[in-house]
Structure formats: C-alpha cells, structure tokens
Structure 1
Amino acid sequence: MKKISAILLSLFLLTSAFSSVHASEQSVSVELNGEQFQFSNALPIIENGVTLVPMRPLLEKLGIQVEWDESTGTVSGSKEGLSLSLKIGSKRADANGQAVTLEVEPKLIQNVTYVPLRFVAETVGYQVAWNSSLRQVSLTSGKQSEDSKGFLWKIENKGNTVYMLGTIHTVDKTIYPLRPEIENAFNAADYLGVEIDFTKIVPDELTKLITDVSEYKDGTTLKDHISAETYNKVTAFLKENGLPENSFDNIKAWYAQQQMGTILAAKQDLNEGMGIDMYFMGKAINTKKPIIGLETFESQYQVFNNFSDSLQEKLLLQFLDPNSLPSSATEMSMDDILKVWKTGDEKNLVKFVDALRWDDDYFKGMQTDRNLAMAEKIKGYLNSDKKETYMIALGASHFAGDSGLVTMLEKQGFKVEKQ
C-alpha cells in the first residue's frame, strides 16, 4: 500500500464525522467477508436503529442448522457448538444458553420472517460493523483472520475499574475479530467512553459548527493563506480526483487537508464505518449501554482552527508533497499501522507517536493538551464512590509514550496493567 504520513491516522475520526452525518436514505446492504449478500426479493430494513433481515437466506448463508417450530413460531439454530433461539413477536431470545432481551422482536412482513441481523451474526461468532455513510452492514467470520491483539490496559481503584482500549479510527476488514479479552471488557463495562459520542449528533448543529470554524469569514480565500506553489498543488490534486479546482477555496487549509484524507482513505479501501470506536458504539447502542464523550466536535475542531497558517500549510503538504516533512513522519503506511495494532506491538506504537513530533505546536495540540484533559476525566472515574466499570476507547496514540495516558496515570499513582 502507498506510504502515507503517520499524521493522517490521527485525523480520521474528525474526517469521518461529517460523512457520517450525511448518510443517504438508500436501502440497507449487507456484506459477508467482503462479498455482497443477495437477499433476492425481500430486502433488509432498519427499525428503531436495528437492522432486520429475511431469516432463511441469512441462516443458510451463515451455515446455521435450523429447526422451526410452527406451532410456537420459534426458530432454533446451531453452528459449531454455538446456538440461538428466537420467537416471532417476542423480544425474549436465547444466545448460547443465556437469556437475551432484543431491541426489536422477530416479525412477519408480507409472509417473510425478519430477524435482528446483529444478534444472529454475533451469536454464531461473526464480527458486525456498520458503515453509516454507505448504509452497509459488514459481517466478518472469525476464520477470516486471527484475533487482533490490539492495546488494552486495566486500572482498578476504590472499587472502580477502567479498561483503556487503544483504537484505530479507520480500518479495513482484517482488523476483526477482536480478541475475547477486548470483547469481555466491553461486556463488563457499565459505560463506554469514546473521544466523541456520535449518537448525540444533531446534523444541523454540526453542519453549522463546521461552517463556522472551517470557512474564512474575512473575505479571504485559501490562496491568501498558503503559498502560490502549494495552492497550485491543491488544484492539481482536485483535478486529479475529478473535482472542480476551486472546491477548497472557501475553507481553511486544515479542513481542506481533512477532506483530502477522506478522498485518499476511500482510494485505499479504508472504512471509517468499520473503525473500532464505531464498532463498539454500535454494540453500545444495541445493548443500551450508556456512551460518554470525553471530547466534543467543537473541542477537536478548535485544535486545528488554532494552528497557524504556516502549520496548516504543512498539514496540506503531507499529502501534496510528503518530502516536505521529516522522513519519520512519512515512513509508516496504513498497512504498518494495522500490523502494529493486530500484533499489539507497543514499541512500534511509540514509534508512531514519536513521528507526530515533527512540529512542536502540532504535537502539543494533538497529543499533550488533549491527553491531559482526558486523563483528568479518567482519574475522576477511578476516584468515584460509585464502584462502576468503564471501557474507554480512544485512538491508540493517546496511550503510548512519555506523554501518553498510561504514563500520565501511572505518575498520578494508579497501577496500570497491560491486558
């Protein structure tokens, strides 16, 4: 895969935010191990945030042996020692011998039995990811790849437990399945903490916020804030990607750089909808687990908005002219980063964080200041008298190195255990 700047990886959550808000109203599609799932005449639907699909083609495609009790309207299925049971019209179900309450009950629609896709797939060992921009559900079998190790730490204090999961915001399908310890940490948690709680998006408010912070208001345009040479490279990039050459004229350089990131991620078959943060937010929604945002859209955007014109131009050049940056900032590809995460390679994770030090102001804004604020919130959870459990899922770079959350919390007297 083409080498890209390591800086790009720290921007993906912001990049995906805008596209997630503007999801189209097209029909829902399902992908199984990278191939489109065909449902013939009866199509998947979404009800109260839950994807329902025709039962029989789903169970057959997943290789589930089915037993149907017509008198009770109950379907039972099994696969490789895993089992499930559902009843039409009932939210009570059984998953591997444990009672489960479904968000939406199985139902008959025009003589077709519909069942909750995520419940069925996860019960028999599939990983499920939702891509809001494509309105697509992706199922990945455990046999497609070995369990990803990832980065997981645990802290206990005063009867409270915090699991800290280092994530990647934009991934490919090979990142799943996650190892059982990560899934178990989520299951044990009373709350899911993430950088931004996407479930609280108000589209009109977010669009206004983006407009307010990303557009020039003083009558100037992008070409007034960057060199003529860089502006020419911007227009060439837009032309190469089939876009009008003035597409970025009204937006600031940092936001233009994020839009470039979206374009390049799409070319490299990277998917924000499959990001680990979004994966767990989807699970939290389905299980009614409360989600806590440690940051806000506004706070993240303001980090970039406060960068000088010179630094914003450097951000543009990471795509337009990678040779303009130190080699340490461009030597890692997305394949490298995915490998680091899958293998839980903390040494190379620190190397990635060090690559972000190419500019002092950039590193302070993107890492140090944000980590200090998030460490205070995690410290509050640990010192609470409520005796609760949290999974805190943040970009992996926030945990590693001397300025990372692990070191910060250890310096404050907490015992951090690698899981």
Structure 2
Amino acid sequence: MKKISAVLLSLFLLTSAFSSVHASETSISVGLNGEQIEFSNSVPFIENGVTLVPMRPLLEKLGVQVEWDEPTGTVSGSKEGLSLSLKMGSTSATANGKAVTLEVEPKLIQNVTYVPVRFVAETVGYQVDWNPTMRQVTLNSGQQSEGSKGFLWKVENKGNTVYLLGTIHTVDKTIYPLRHEIEDAFNAADYLGVEIDFAKVVPDELTKLITDVSTYKDGTTLKDHISAPTYNKVTAFLKENGLPENSFDNIKAWYAQQQMGNILAAKQELNEGMGIDMYLMGKAIQAKKPIVGLETFESQFEVFNNFADSLQEKLLLQTLDPSTLPPSAAEMSMDEILRIWKDGDDKALLDMVKTLQWDDDYFKGMQIDRNAAMAEKIKGFLNSNNKETYMIAVGASHYAGDFGLVTLLEKAGFKVDKQ
C-alpha cells in the first residue's frame, strides 16, 4: 500500500468535503459495521422519508434467515431468536412477535423486493443512523468490540461543559464503532462544533468560491509556478491515473495537491464520507442538534492561498513522493494514523504533530494560527452564562503539543480532563 503522509491527512477536509457534497446528491449508500453493502444495479431510494433497499442483499449481509410465502406475498426472517415479517404492499408487519405499522410498505419494483431498512435492521438488533449530508445509512452491530478509543477531553466552567473530540477527516471502514463515551458525549451536547458546518453548504456557491480561490487569473498556469521537473511528475501522475495530462494546468499547486490526495485516498479505500466529522454532523442533523462552525471555507482556503509558490510546490512533491519529507514525516502512513486514533495513543499523536513542523510557515498556517482562533471560540463557550454543553469535533492534530488546544485552554486557566 502506497503511504500517504500525515501532512496530506491534515489537508483532506477541504476539497474532500466538497466532492462529497456533490457525490451525495445522486445516490444513497448503506454501510454495515463500516463496510458498504453492494446492491448491484438495484439502488436504494427514499419514499416519504423512509429509505427502502433491495431486500435480498440486505438480509444476506445481516445474516437473516429468510422464508418467502409467494401466495400471500409475505417475507419472514429470523436471526438468533429475533424475527420479523413483512407483506408486499402492506404497512402491517410484525417485529419480534409484536404487530407494528410501517410508514411505507414493502414493494416489488422490476422484480426486486424493496424493504424499509430501518425497520429490518433495528428488529434484528442493529443500530441505525442516517447521515443526510452524505445520504448514507449506517448499520452497526451491538456485538462489535468496545469501539475505537479516539481522543476525548472534557472542560467545565460556570455551568458550561465542552467535550473536545479529536477527529480524523478521512478514514476507512475499520474506524467504527466509536467507544460509548464518545457517543454519550455527543448525546449530552446541546451543540456540535466542527471546523466547517457542511450542513449549510450551498453547492453552487461553494463551486464558485473554489473556482475563485483555486484558479490562476493572471494568464499563468501551473507550469509557470513550479519547476519543470515537478510539473513533469504531476503530468506523469495524471497519466498513470487515466486523466488528461493538462488536467491541473489552470489550478493552483495547493489545490492540485489536494486533488491528488483524493485520488490516492480512493485507491487506499479511504472515505471522507465516513470521516468522524461527517458522521457526527449527520447524527446532529438527524437529532436536530444545532451545528456551529469554528472556521469557514474562506478562512481555510486563505491558509493555502497565503503559502508561497515554493511551499505549495513542496506539498505537491510530498504527495507524489512522501520520501521528500523529513524521515519522521515520510514514515507516517495512513495505516499508522488510523491506528493512533483507534488506540487513543497520546504519545504517537504528539509525535505526529511534530512531523507537521517540517516548515515554519506551513506549521504556523495549519496549526498555530488556526488553533489560536479556535481556542478563542471555545473559551467563549466556556465563559458564557448559558450553562450549555458543546461537543467540539476538530482534527486530532489540533489538540496536541505546545500550540495545541489542550495546552492553550490550560494556559487560559481551564482544567482539561482526558476522558
């Protein structure tokens, strides 16, 4: 597996989220314990707020034994003492021996039987969540492990509580489930705070913003801002991945770097839509929990636009070949980053943050300045007279080290407790 550096990880949220918004408008996905269920040519759809999915692939994945009574059009299923029955075209059903009324009836469409996914999954013991931002249903088994540990802290002041959760923006299927303390903290929160509130994204406006900030407008192209050897490596990368060699000519080097990161992440089966930030935002929307953005697209884009051409070229090279990073950073693969999060490894997280200090301007823009601005907002939540509870979920790298949020809050006089 080709490695992606920790530096690349810290850049994912911006453009990955943008592509996710568009991808989510056209399809619905269903994940089981972090693995997406494949439905071949028959796709899930929503009717009156209820997600209907092809029955057979769903029940097979859930391990449900199925019986079909053709004369009555009734499906019966059982698993480990749990049972259900559904009748085509009828809202009458049974769940573990009890009669229930479905909001939408099962139906036969082009010889494919569709059933309400929530009813089926919950009846046989699965937790069901809906992420409207990603148009994604997630099914989690209660028989899984205790969950990924992650990084969670708690701060209290004047009757206010702030839970601080360090997230990973781009993950694979192994990151879930989260341990119950994280889920409990989310449930206790009145507000969810994230880097950017994607629930308020207007796709057309975001497209215009990205076009405005990421493209050259002075008649120059990418090859005018980076060296010829680097440009040749970029075109070779594009060719290798089946894209026109001039695909990046009109965009700035930092944005080209992020697009390459997305391509590499897809090859490693990493998914920004499964990212912890997006997962929590989906839960907040479902629970009608207000979301607060600590940053904006504009502020994050400004960080990259302020990088000199030479620094942007370094980012390109590091994405093409992580060995151009200092050794400690080059050795930080995505596999290791995922392990650090799942284990809640504080020392390794601090070491990862240290790898981001390979360039003073980079570290100042990506960490020091952003952390200071986020800390001020968190202090405002803690010092208010509203006696409210927040969960703040931002990238894990923002918490560790001398310039991290934990240290900044402690220096401001707050007691920060690891959970």
Shorter-normalised TM range = 0.7 to 0.9
Counterpart of 1:168 in structure 2 is: 168
Q: Distance in 1 between matches of 2:168 and 2:11?
A: 11
Specify the code of the residue in structure 2 equivalent to 1:322. Answer: P
Secondary structure at the residue paired with 1:161? strand
Is contact 1:12-1:170 (8 Å) kept? Answer: yes
- Aligned partner of 1:107 among 104, 107, 123: 104
Q: Distance in 2 between matches of 1:123 and 1:157?
A: 42
* 1:131–1:243 Cα change, 3 Å: farther
Does the alignment pair 1:87 with 2:90?
A: no
Q: Offset at 1:68? A: 5.8
Q: How does 1:289-308 map to 2 (within 5 A)?
A: 289-308=289-308
Counterpart of 1:9 in structure 2 is: 9
Counterpart of 2:384 in structure 1 is: 384
Is contact 2:172-2:270 (8 Å) kept? Answer: yes
Q: Distance in 1 between matches of 2:318 and 2:45?
A: 41
Q: Distance in 2 between matches of 1:335 and 1:306?
A: 30
Does the alignment pair 1:20 with 2:17?
A: no
Instruction: Extract unaligned runs of 5+ from structure 1.
Output: 79-83, 89-105
Q: Distance in 1 between matches of 2:362 and 2:277?
A: 23
Specify the code of the residue in structure 1 equivalent to 2:327. Answer: S
Counterpart of 2:219 in structure 1 is: 219
Specify the code of the residue in structure 1 equivalent to 2:162. Answer: V
Q: Offset at 1:30? A: 2.6
Q: Offset at 1:131? A: 9.6
Q: Distance in 1 between matches of 2:367 and 2:290?
A: 26
Is contact 1:39-1:57 (8 Å) kept? Answer: no
Q: Distance in 2 between matches of 1:342 and 1:51?
A: 31
After superposition, the C-alpha distances for 1:69-90 in whole angstroms (9 at most, x for unaligned) are: 9999464349xxxxx99533xx
Q: Distance in 2 between matches of 1:50 and 1:355?
A: 46
Q: Offset at 1:329? A: 1.8
After superposition, the C-alpha distances for 1:76-131 in whole angstroms (9 at most, x for unaligned) are: 349xxxxx99533xxxxxxxxxxxxxxxxx22264788536399559934475759
Is contact 2:132-2:285 (8 Å) kept? Answer: no
Q: Distance in 1 between matches of 2:355 and 2:8?
A: 11
Q: Distance in 2 between matches of 1:321 and 1:335?
A: 17
Q: Distance in 2 between matches of 1:210 and 1:51?
A: 32
Secondary structure at the residue paired with 1:108? coil
Q: Distance in 2 between matches of 1:130 and 1:119?
A: 18
Is contact 2:37-2:57 (8 Å) kept? Answer: no
Counterpart of 1:332 in structure 2 is: 332
Specify the code of the residue in structure 2 equivalent to 1:270. Answer: L
Does the alignment pair 1:76 with 2:88?
A: no
Counterpart of 1:36 in structure 2 is: 37
Q: Offset at 1:320? A: 2.1
Specify the code of the residue in structure 2 equivalent to 1:66. Answer: S
Q: How does 1:93-132 map to 2 (within 5 A)?
A: 106-108=103-105, 110=107, 114-115=115-116, 117=118, 120-121=121-122, 124-126=125-127, 128=129
Instruction: Extract unaligned runs of 5+ from structure 2.
Output: 65-78
Specify the code of the residue in structure 2 equivalent to 1:306. Answer: N
Q: Alignment identity in percent?
A: 72
Q: Distance in 1 between matches of 2:216 and 2:389?
A: 44
Q: Distance in 2 between matches of 1:67 and 1:387?
A: 44
Secondary structure at the residue paired with 1:366? helix
Q: Distance in 1 between matches of 2:31 and 2:344?
A: 27
Secondary structure at the residue paired with 1:193? strand
CA RMSD in angstroms, aligned pairs only: 3.0
- Aligned partner of 1:66 among 78, 83, 86: 83
Q: Offset at 1:353? A: 0.4
* 1:405–1:37 Cα change, 3 Å: same
* 1:36–1:224 Cα change, 3 Å: same
Is contact 1:127-1:141 (8 Å) kept? Answer: no
Q: Distance in 2 between matches of 1:118 and 1:203?
A: 32
Secondary structure at the residue paired with 2:23? coil
Is contact 1:118-1:128 (8 Å) kept? Answer: no
Q: Offset at 1:18? A: 2.0
Q: Offset at 1:319? A: 1.7
Secondary structure at the residue paired with 2:257? helix
Secondary structure at the residue paired with 1:155? strand
Report the count of equivalent residues. 395
* 1:86–1:375 Cα change, 3 Å: farther
Is contact 2:118-2:128 (8 Å) kept? Answer: no
